[in-house]
């Protein structure tokens, strides 16, 4: 289906000036194991049970502040919003990274789950929507309370199976993330990503999950069969957005993760940079302010209505 062939009908939206994003109100939240997480919350003055709350799950080793401008946009368009950092990252970084016990599964089953519980407590009666970038889309399926999610939007979401990387970049990415990163981590006790200019410093357990070359999430070092059941319990209307020049978010990578969401109604939207008048977008640019007029309305429409607006750029990928 070519969505550009449909009549144009943009989602109801408020656009913001292209200025740096503002931070929401900072908060601290304990996960079930007592680990203190930090983040930011955008909350309207009056509670309204017709208003949904959006939780934004970050990519691996990307600070939640990266999503502040997008959170501003969602807030301006009627949502309450929560951004947060996984344990070991940004607002949730301890004094020392060495010895920190943190895995991908902890980020989903403990940290994201803590946000679901917070929304239940602080926003009673409001629907819960989720936006997940890269691993953040995987994290959305790991929480035990995932059945609470109404609408889910993922962007480039996958769990780094190396054979799914874009062929033109595969061996360079394999060397970087599956050889160099684990070797440096063993030497330092964590991955010093900031010093290398490779994202944020990252816990050793996350590196082990990322670098293990297996096609099944439950076969990762921190994976469990119970995680498969948690994915299946998510019944959200799910939109998986992938960008054609994203070397991580290839069609096989997106589809590999979507197959875990067996209880959801899943739509995979594939967008080329040319669809929105750009030469390149890649893996990280979706949440930059430059795309609020072209890419952000796609996510907004899905969060508002659980549907793609007619005229949405890109093509839907046939489901297997």
The structural domain count of the chain equals: 1
Taking only the tens place, the pLDDT of each residue in 227-264 is: 999 999 999 999 999 999 999 999 999 999 999 999 99
pLDDT of residue 25: 96
pLDDT of residue 134: 98
pTM of the model: 0.94
Taking only the tens place, the pLDDT of each residue in 109-163 is: 999 999 999 999 999 999 999 999 999 999 999 999 999 999 999 999 999 999 9
**Going by C-beta distance under 8 Å and a sequence separation of 6 or more, which residues neighbour residue 105?**
142, 209, 220, 222, 223, 224, 227
Task: Assess if residue 196 is contained within a domain.
Answer: no
Task: Assess if residue 170 is contained within a domain.
Answer: no
Task: Assess if residue 41 is contained within a domain.
Answer: yes
Task: Assess if residue 171 is contained within a domain.
Answer: no
Q: Phi-psi bin for 230: left (phi > 0), alpha (psi -120 to 50), beta?
A: alpha
Mean pLDDT of the chain: 94
Task: Assess if residue 198 is contained within a domain.
Answer: no
Percent of the chain with pLDDT over 70: 93
**Going by C-beta distance under 8 Å and a sequence separation of 6 or more, which residues neighbour residue 295?**
241, 271, 276, 281, 286
Taking only the tens place, the pLDDT of each residue in 149-180 is: 999 999 999 999 999 999 999 999 999 999 99
Asked if residue 201 has pLDDT above 70, the reply is yes
Instruction: Lowest mean pLDDT of 8-12, 92-96, 293-297, name the range.
Output: 8-12
pLDDT of residue 288: 96
pLDDT band at residue 13 under the 50/70/90 scheme? confident
Q: Write the CATH number for 94.
A: 3.40.50.1820
pLDDT band at residue 303 under the 50/70/90 scheme? very high
Name the residue range of residue 274's domain. 3-165+222-316
Yes or no: say if 97 and 86 are a contact pair by the CB < 8 Å rule.
no
């Amino acid at each position: 289906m070519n969505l550009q062939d449909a009549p144009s009908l943009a989602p109801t939206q408020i656009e913001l000036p292209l200025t740096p994003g503002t931070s929401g109100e900072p908060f601290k939240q304990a996960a079930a194991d007592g680990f203190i997480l930090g983040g930011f919350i955008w909350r309207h003055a009056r509670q309204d049970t017709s208003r949904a709350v959006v939780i934004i799950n970050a990519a691996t080793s990307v600070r939640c502040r990266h999503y502040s401008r997008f959170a501003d946009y969602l807030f301006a368009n009627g949502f309450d919003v929560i951004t947060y950092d996984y344990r070991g990252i940004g607002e949730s970084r301890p004094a020392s990274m060495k010895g920190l016990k943190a895995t991908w599964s902890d980020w989903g089953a403990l940290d994201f789950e803590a946000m679901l519980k917070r929304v239940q407590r602080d926003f009673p009666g409001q629907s819960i929507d989720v936006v997940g970038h890269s691993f953040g889309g995987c994290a959305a399926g790991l929480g035990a309370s995932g059945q609470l999610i109404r609408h889910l939007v993922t962007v480039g979401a996958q769990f780094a199976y190396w054979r799914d990387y874009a062929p033109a970049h595969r061996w360079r990415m394999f060397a970087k993330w599956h050889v160099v990163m684990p070797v440096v981590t063993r030497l330092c006790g964590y991955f010093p990503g900031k010093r290398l200019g490779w994202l944020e410093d990252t816990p050793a357990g996350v590196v082990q999950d990322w670098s293990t070359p297996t096609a099944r999430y439950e076969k990762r070092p921190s994976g469990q069969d119970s995680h498969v059941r948690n994915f299946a319990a998510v019944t959200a209307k799910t939109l998986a957005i992938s960008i054609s020049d994203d070397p991580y978010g290839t069609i096989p990578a997106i589809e590999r993760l979507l197959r875990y969401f067996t209880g959801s109604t899943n739509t995979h939207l594939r967008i080329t940079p040319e669809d929105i008048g750009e030469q390149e977008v890649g893996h990280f640019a979706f949440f930059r302010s430059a795309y609020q007029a072209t890419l952000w309305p796609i996510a907004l429409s899905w969060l508002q209505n659980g549907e793609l607006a007619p005229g949405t750029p890109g093509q839907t990928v046939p489901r297997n």
